[in-house]
Chains A and B, each alone.
Chain A
Amino acid sequence: MVASQANRPAQMPSSSVDPSEIAHFAKDSARWWDASGPFAPLHRLNPVRLGWVRDQAIQHFGRDSKSMTSLAGLTVMDVGCGGGLVAEPLARMGATTLGLDADAVAIEAATAHAAGHDLNLTYRVGSVEAEPADTYDLVTALEVVEHTTDPTAFVIACARTVRPGGLLLLSTLNRTAKSFALGIVAAERVLRWVPAGTHDWKKFVKPAELARACRAAGLDVVDTTGLVFDPLAGAFKRSATDLSVNYFLAATKPTA
């Protein structure tokens, strides 16, 4: 696959961005907000993953769970924001938000979708390695780790930008037989929930590997939660124990 010039990320000294991954997403980038389009599974996933992000942030920063703007006053960076499916809701929750992605078409779609709304939301084409260290209260990278060239390096790069006392929230796919069956065979080839070639199973990351990367970056892992599909309800839901396919990981950066 060849990335078009427009979609090629700005050249970084050392970047976790995989050009072939960017090219894969870029061909559908204009349709990020079409809930029944190529990103439909992310729309379906969104309530449950935003629910987990909000709960973690509320707990860590001592916020009011009944508030409509529970993240007010926090600075947030969403790495690999795509069309802004997570960044825009985070801004609506009150956070001053930066959405970062290597795909210029996705950033364009994200910017267009947020236009005209009164939000503290900025989008930028770029990669996390170029961001300043020890800056953000909260850094999120949801369903991104598995698309990078070197997951460990990517996690360390994200962790670097979290301010001491801040929070890093990640979600990705586990490398298990079940995730191969569900994530690749079922989702891509049978159900066609996501376009074929969306995921490379070999790049999937085990929770222990992700936790090790966080600890290598000097962070403490505070939560791991599974994400399972409930066929009866037709919806995703959290699971405290089943991390075999999708899962979340929360880590904090110690103060000083």
Chain B
Amino acid sequence: MTSEKTTDDVLIVGGGLAGLSLAASLGHAGLRVAVADRDAPATQLDEAFDGRTTAIAFGSQRLLTEIGVWSRLEADAEPIREIRVADGGSSLFLHFDHREVAPITGNAAPFGWIVENRRLRRALFERCAELPKVTHLAPMAVEDHAVEGETVTARLADGSTRRARLLVGADGRTSPTRERAGIATIGWPYRQTAIVCVAGHEKPHNGIAVEHFLAPGPFAILPMTDAPDGTHRSSIVWTERPETVEPLLAADQATFDAELQRRFGPHLGAVRTLGRRFSYPLSLLQARRFTAPRLALVGEAAHAIHPIAGQGLNLGMRDIAALAELIVDHARLGLDIGSPALLQDYARRRRVDALALSAATDVLDRLFSNDIPPIAAARRIGLAAVGQVPSLKRFFMRYAMGQRAGAGLDLPRLVRGEKL
């Protein structure tokens, strides 16, 4: 270990979407932050690194606006104005129109926006580079960390050490930080793999997101901005049984496109894939604890849920909004930002939300990913019923937009669109 030591307020392990969003939130408020990521920024911006898109809910968009990121992203974000949910081949639609949530948002704001992960990543890189108190260390792995008194010290891959009041694990579902802290996880894999790709189609999508519940799992068509050459595009999240995925990924373009078209239906005209196909095995994972001494977990390090409702990143954004608010409020009062009281408060605020969403998405998936006749019939009635009851429907929409907190808890300021 060298004698060189640098002291930050907060050291974030993992410079993905969650880690960088937290760094920008804290740096924006004037705290000294370091983010360490094992991958180089150029690698992370490469199209081959992450082919996914993200559904940014209304609440997450407010957070990104507040921390100066959204303005760089707006041109690459396609608003979702309508959501159509269809059960298999049935013609029963659950239809959500953004004009119905005007009472929630104050105007006819969209439900959310679809953004390519690498665009969001680039906007976050740029914003963090602008903030004088944010240090972005990449590529730089964190090898180890230890707590002593009111300080946590991390050893970095280059042999240097950094000290901070608080360490944040934002290093994803396999979080080495979580493992080092001895925090166990609970969860199970789904017998499902998501194929992710971008589809070009003849007709414009008009801002409509479609979720088809097919027996192997949901098939989602998410509206994207047009390509520079004017091609209409949608992002596809196509859930299949693992054994079906292999041949699909290996198939030639024409075969794959034919399979895609079959699930797409005719409503957007002829469909073809643009760029690479990616695949991600799905699993549900929840950390048993969200904190350890001087450590808080955020994003997928704390909880990875089923992508069925497009809530993964938004759940992580609510972690960030809650943690950033607690840290900033404590720092302004000159209080210890890694204190047991703060960490306890963070865990209390987040656990309800994370568990409720894990359970809801798990149940949704189990309900929809099967062909057992009584269940299929019941869910058709259920879908229709939700559509018939305006208050129930608004409840779902409000949750999807990230505008509901757990019982008895206030939404963090950043999610309400207020300054930290």
Which residues of A are interface residues toward B (Cβ below 8 A)? 35-36, 43-44, 46-47, 50-51, 54, 66-68, 70, 88-93, 232
Q: Is A70 in contact with B341, judged by CB distance below 8 angstroms?
A: no
Q: Is B330 in contact with A47, judged by CB distance below 8 angstroms?
A: yes
Is B382 interfacial (CB-CB < 8 Å)? no
What are 8 A-B contacts with C-beta separation under 8 Å?
A47-B329, A47-B335, A68-B29, A68-B30, A68-B332, A89-B334, A89-B335, A92-B334
Q: Is A66 in contact with B29, judged by CB distance below 8 angstroms?
A: yes
Alpha-carbon gap, A93 to B329, bound state (A): 12
- Point out the residues of chain A lying under 8 angstroms from B189, CB to CB: none
Q: Is A50 in contact with B334, judged by CB distance below 8 angstroms?
A: yes
Q: Is A68 in contact with B31, judged by CB distance below 8 angstroms?
A: yes
Question: Which residue on A lies nearest to B332, using beta carbons?
Answer: A68
Is B333 interfacial (CB-CB < 8 Å)? yes
- Point out the residues of chain B lying under 8 angstroms from A47, CB to CB: 329-330, 333, 335, 341
B37–chain A nearest beta-carbon distance, Å: 25
Is B339 interfacial (CB-CB < 8 Å)? yes
Alpha-carbon gap, A111 to B206, bound state (A): 65
- Point out the residues of chain A lying under 8 angstroms from B30, CB to CB: 67-68
- Point out the residues of chain A lying under 8 angstroms from B330, CB to CB: 47
Contacts of B324-364 to chain A: CB distance below 8 A: 329-335, 339-341
Is B203 interfacial (CB-CB < 8 Å)? no
Alpha-carbon gap, A70 to B330, bound state (A): 13
A209–chain B nearest beta-carbon distance, Å: 29
Q: Is B335 in contact with A68, judged by CB distance below 8 angstroms?
A: no
Alpha-carbon gap, A91 to B335, bound state (A): 10
Question: For this complex, into which size category does the number of interface residues on chain B fall?
Answer: 10 to 19
Q: Is A54 in contact with B332, judged by CB distance below 8 angstroms?
A: yes
- Identify A67's interface contact among B332, B340, B420, CB under 8 A: B332
Alpha-carbon gap, A36 to B339, bound state (A): 11
Alpha-carbon gap, A66 to B334, bound state (A): 13
- Identify B333's interface contact among A35, A44, A51, CB under 8 A: A51
- Identify A50's interface contact among B333, B339, B420, CB under 8 A: B333
- Point out the residues of chain B lying under 8 angstroms from A67, CB to CB: 30, 332
Q: Is A70 in contact with B332, judged by CB distance below 8 angstroms?
A: yes
- Point out the residues of chain A lying under 8 angstroms from B341, CB to CB: 35, 43-44, 47
Is B419 interfacial (CB-CB < 8 Å)? yes
Q: Is the interface of B mostly helix, strand, loop or mixed?
A: loop
- Point out the residues of chain A lying under 8 angstroms from B334, CB to CB: 50, 88-93
A23–chain B nearest beta-carbon distance, Å: 28
A67–chain B nearest beta-carbon distance, Å: 7
Per CB-CB distance, the 7 closest pairs between chain A and chain B, nearest first, are A89-B334, A92-B334, A50-B333, A68-B30, A93-B334, A68-B331, A89-B335
Q: Is the interface of A mostly helix, strand, loop or mixed?
A: helix
- Point out the residues of chain B lying under 8 angstroms from A88, CB to CB: 334
- Point out the residues of chain B lying under 8 angstroms from A66, CB to CB: 29, 332, 419-420
On whether A35 and B339 interact (CB within 8 A), knowing A66-B419, A68-B31, the answer reads yes
Contacts of B378-420 to chain A: CB distance below 8 A: 408, 419-420
Which residues of B are interface residues toward A (Cβ below 8 A)? 29-31, 329-335, 339-341, 408, 419-420
Alpha-carbon gap, A66 to B29, bound state (A): 8
Question: Which residue on B lies nearest to A51, using beta carbons?
Answer: B333
Alpha-carbon gap, A66 to B408, bound state (A): 26
Alpha-carbon gap, A68 to B335, bound state (A): 11
Alpha-carbon gap, A47 to B328, bound state (A): 12
A115–chain B nearest beta-carbon distance, Å: 11
B10–chain A nearest beta-carbon distance, Å: 13
Alpha-carbon gap, A51 to B419, bound state (A): 18
Alpha-carbon gap, A217 to B11, bound state (A): 48
- Point out the residues of chain B lying under 8 angstroms from A90, CB to CB: 334
B146–chain A nearest beta-carbon distance, Å: 17
Q: Is B332 in contact with A35, judged by CB distance below 8 angstroms?
A: no
Alpha-carbon gap, A184 to B341, bound state (A): 25
Alpha-carbon gap, A31 to B95, bound state (A): 61
- Identify A35's interface contact among B29, B31, B329, B340, CB under 8 A: B340
Question: Which residue on B lies nearest to A43, using beta carbons?
Answer: B341
Question: Which residue on A lies nearest to B340, using beta carbons?
Answer: A35
Alpha-carbon gap, A205 to B340, bound state (A): 33
B188–chain A nearest beta-carbon distance, Å: 34
On whether A89 and B339 interact (CB within 8 A), knowing A66-B29, A67-B30, A68-B30, the answer reads no
- Point out the residues of chain A lying under 8 angstroms from B31, CB to CB: 68
Known contacts A89-B333, A89-B335, A91-B334, then 6 further A-B pairs from the complex at CB < 8 Å, ordered by chain A residue: A47-B333, A47-B335, A47-B341, A51-B333, A68-B31, A68-B332
A90–chain B nearest beta-carbon distance, Å: 6
Alpha-carbon gap, A44 to B341, bound state (A): 8
Question: Which residue on B lies nearest to A86, using beta carbons?
Answer: B334
Alpha-carbon gap, A67 to B31, bound state (A): 10
B381–chain A nearest beta-carbon distance, Å: 39
- Point out the residues of chain B lying under 8 angstroms from A44, CB to CB: 341
- Point out the residues of chain A lying under 8 angstroms from B335, CB to CB: 46-47, 50, 89, 92
- Point out the residues of chain B lying under 8 angstroms from A91, CB to CB: 334
- Point out the residues of chain A lying under 8 angstroms from B329, CB to CB: 47
B23–chain A nearest beta-carbon distance, Å: 16
- Point out the residues of chain A lying under 8 angstroms from B420, CB to CB: 66
Alpha-carbon gap, A145 to B332, bound state (A): 26
B143–chain A nearest beta-carbon distance, Å: 25
- Point out the residues of chain A lying under 8 angstroms from B340, CB to CB: 35-36
Alpha-carbon gap, A46 to B331, bound state (A): 13
B125–chain A nearest beta-carbon distance, Å: 24
- Point out the residues of chain A lying under 8 angstroms from B332, CB to CB: 54, 66-68, 70, 93
- Point out the residues of chain B lying under 8 angstroms from A35, CB to CB: 339-341
Question: Which residue on B lies nearest to A50, using beta carbons?
Answer: B333
Question: Which residue on B lies nearest to A33, using beta carbons?
Answer: B150
Alpha-carbon gap, A88 to B408, bound state (A): 33
Question: Which residue on B lies nearest to A68, using beta carbons?
Answer: B30
Alpha-carbon gap, A118 to B340, bound state (A): 23
Q: Is B333 in contact with A93, judged by CB distance below 8 angstroms?
A: yes
- Point out the residues of chain B lying under 8 angstroms from A51, CB to CB: 333
Question: Which residue on A lies nearest to B329, using beta carbons?
Answer: A47
Alpha-carbon gap, A232 to B348, bound state (A): 13
